[in-house]
């Protein structure tokens, strides 16, 4: 029931260090202007690294240099009057909290761990998050216009040591043609009437909301929990939240329609923008006649493609009713990278079936029609899948991996420009680094000699 697939599948790198620093012994190890860096800041970032990287030589030095750079960027952002809005900070904080909740098993466990409410956690770390965002904005200002020419990309690749050229795992790209059966007014009425009956039983007291949610709700994420949802404003679709914020604790809503189907909601508690509620979802189901019609239409498409009576691009426009892919030649975009290519790990998280359908196909091959469930909109359809391209595992090269190498070349150029900017700012900033880091092999000369 999240607002959209981008949000649902949004992948964010989360640095937990700021949230856990309080649980480690503190010692000031560096200072930039009025801002200090603690040993705990380094340690908590190191603990978030993969285990094999934590003990690498110089890792603490690398982390310290990144923290020094962040402080320098924040100072310059304030001088340049860069701004990050409260709304941006709130959104970033909420995203981080959701990830932490997922790792800790829910918002209640998160609050228990820190011994304070979610609102108090937000207030405590608001400045930390804002400064991180200011540092990012300042870095974008310095390197945002950086680009590389094809000649620079080739030169960058030629200078890479042969033993450091990365090995690229197999990548796959796919297209699909989907027919979702038509939902009729009668289909919707059946679902609506079912929820009317469920609500009557709950309101009359003959059944509890929780028991009916476990038995009847079609929301797999909450049904087993008795329909329980713990959320903040903005997490759910607008129609749902409009009702939540209009209910009183203990009150059961009338039937609410959203893009997912029909709901009833019972508010448990609400504090500011935070709320806990119970809900039951009943989704309209297609009747067998319309499923048969959709199947026949997809089969007709498949036969036409098999006989080369129609091109793939023509077939997509003529037969697909999937809004997400129809106008893009059926290409299934990877939500992690916003690219057309998928690796196996990403594919297995989103659509395990698609690999089984296409594993035996050559590039350009088309699968037979099969049932399909769209995980974003939770509706069933029939589809055929085309293996657009399979790039076998290989050592990176300019011909197959130009876009990847170009990105690496751009990042390398950005880093060099950022290093130059940093070195130019150090003489005019007050910087103190503890003697235990004097032997660090920093990228730039942070320790100025008189």
Angstrom distance (rounded) from CA 66 to CA 443: 10
Q: How close are the terminal C-alpha atoms of the chain, in Å?
A: 61
The answer on 161 and 60 residing in a single domain is yes
The CATH number of the domain holding residue 292 is 3.10.50.40
- Where among 252, 282, 312 does a domain terminate? 282
The answer on 303 and 383 residing in a single domain is yes
Q: Is residue 446 part of a domain?
A: no
The answer on 106 and 248 residing in a single domain is no
Q: Which two tokens stand for residue 255?
A: 């039937």
The pLDDT of residue 26 is above 90: no
pTM of the entire structure?
Answer: 0.60
The answer on 272 and 145 residing in a single domain is no
Q: Is residue 449 part of a domain?
A: no
Per-residue pLDDT of 198-235, as tens digits, reads: 999 999 999 999 999 999 999 887 898 899 998 888 88
Name residue, tokens 């239409």. Answer: 297
The answer on 316 and 176 residing in a single domain is yes
The answer on 318 and 354 residing in a single domain is yes
Per-residue pLDDT of 80-110, as tens digits, reads: 999 888 888 887 887 777 777 767 777 777 7
Angstrom distance (rounded) from CA 113 to CA 103: 12
Write down the pLDDT at residue 25: 52
The answer on 178 and 295 residing in a single domain is yes
Name residue, tokens 């300042």. Answer: 138
Domain that holds residue 254: 185-282
Q: Is residue 319 part of a domain?
A: yes
The answer on 268 and 248 residing in a single domain is yes
The answer on 150 and 64 residing in a single domain is yes
The answer on 134 and 9 residing in a single domain is yes
The answer on 115 and 17 residing in a single domain is yes
- Where among 282, 307, 338 does a domain terminate? 282
Q: Is residue 450 part of a domain?
A: no
Q: Is residue 447 part of a domain?
A: no
Q: How many structural domains does the chain have?
A: 3
> Hey, which residues does 277 pair with through a beta bridge?
229, 267
Q: Which two tokens stand for residue 376?
A: 């974003």
The answer on 120 and 61 residing in a single domain is yes
Write down the pLDDT at residue 363: 94
């Amino acid at each position: 029931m999240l607002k959209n697939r981008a949000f649902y599948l949004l992948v964010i790198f989360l640095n937990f260090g700021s949230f856990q620093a309080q649980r480690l012994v503190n010692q000031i190890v560096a200072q930039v202007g009025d801002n200090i860096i603690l040993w705990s800041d380094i340690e908590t970032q190191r603990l978030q690294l993969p285990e094999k990287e934590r003990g690498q030589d110089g890792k603490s030095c690398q982390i310290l240099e990144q923290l020094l750079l962040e402080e320098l960027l924040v100072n310059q952002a304030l001088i340049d009057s860069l701004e990050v809005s409260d709304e941006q900070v709130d959104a970033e904080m909420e995203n981080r909290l959701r990830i932490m909740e997922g790792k800790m098993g829910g918002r209640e466990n998160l609050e228990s761990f820190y011994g304070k409410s979610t609102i108090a956690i937000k207030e405590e770390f608001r400045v930390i998050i804002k400064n991180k965002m200011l540092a990012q904005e300042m870095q974008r200002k310095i390197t945002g216009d950086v680009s590389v020419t094809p000649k620079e990309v080739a030169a960058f690749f030629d200078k890479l040591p042969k033993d450091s050229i990365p090995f690229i795992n197999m990548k796959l790209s796919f297209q699909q043609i989907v027919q979702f059966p038509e939902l009729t007014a009668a289909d919707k009425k059946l679902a609506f009437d079912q929820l009317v009956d469920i609500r009557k039983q709950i309101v009359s007291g003959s059944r509890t909301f929780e028991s009916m949610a476990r038995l009847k709700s079609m929301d797999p994420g909450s049904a087993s929990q008795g329909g329980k949802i713990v959320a903040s404003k903005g997490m759910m679709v607008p129609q749902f939240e409009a009702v939540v914020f209009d209910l009183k604790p203990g009150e059961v809503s009338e039937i609410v329609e959203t893009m997912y189907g029909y709901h009833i909601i019972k508010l448990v508690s609400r504090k500011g923008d935070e709320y806990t509620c119970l809900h039951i979802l009943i989704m309209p189901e297609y009747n067998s006649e319309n499923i048969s019609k959709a199947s026949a239409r997809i089969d007709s498409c498949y036969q036409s493609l098999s006989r080369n009576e129609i091109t793939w691009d023509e077939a997509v426009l003529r037969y697909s009713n999937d809004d997400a892919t129809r106008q893009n030649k059926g290409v299934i975009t990877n939500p992690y990278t916003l690219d057309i290519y998928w690796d196996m790990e990403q594919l297995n998280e989103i659509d395990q079936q698609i690999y089984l359908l296409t594993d035996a196909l050559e590039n350009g091959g088309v699968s037979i029609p099969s049932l399909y469930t769209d995980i974003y909109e939770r509706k069933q359809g029939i589809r055929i899948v085309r293996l657009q391209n399979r790039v076998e595992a290989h050592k990176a090269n300019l011909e197959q991996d130009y876009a990847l190498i170009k990105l690496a070349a751009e990042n390398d150029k950005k880093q060099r420009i950022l290093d130059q900017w940093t070195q130019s700012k150090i003489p005019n900033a007050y910087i103190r680094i503890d003697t235990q880091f004097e032997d660090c092999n920093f990228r730039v000369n942070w320790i100025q000699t008189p």
